[in-house]
Amino acid sequence: MKSNGKNDCIECTINNCAYHAGDVDYCTLETIKIGTHEPNPTTKECTDCESFANKSGC
């Protein structure tokens, strides 16, 4: 499942996340948590990766 630090099951294009696999669009975490900032989400824009951590530490 994991090769070169990336998790082949979790694709990700958020380059400024601390868990981004670098030169490939994958996550390095074993699992991620998906949540929402809306009381009744109806579109993908209403969802969030709650495992996100800013690479710069901010």
Stated pTM of the model: 0.83
Query: What pLDDT, on the 0 to 100 scale, is given for residue 3?
Result: 62
The pLDDT value recorded for residue 11 is 97
User: What is the chain's pLDDT, residue by residue, as a tens digit (58 residues)?
Assistant: 566 799 999 999 999 999 999 999 999 999 999 999 999 999 999 999 999 999 986 5
d(CA 44, CA 42): 7
The 10 Å Cβ neighbour count of residue 12 is 21
Residue ranges per structural domain of the chain: 2-49
16: left (phi over 0), alpha (psi -120 to 50) or beta: alpha
CB of 44 within 8 A of CB of 37?
Answer: no
* Contact indicator for 48, 36 with CB cutoff of 8 Å: yes
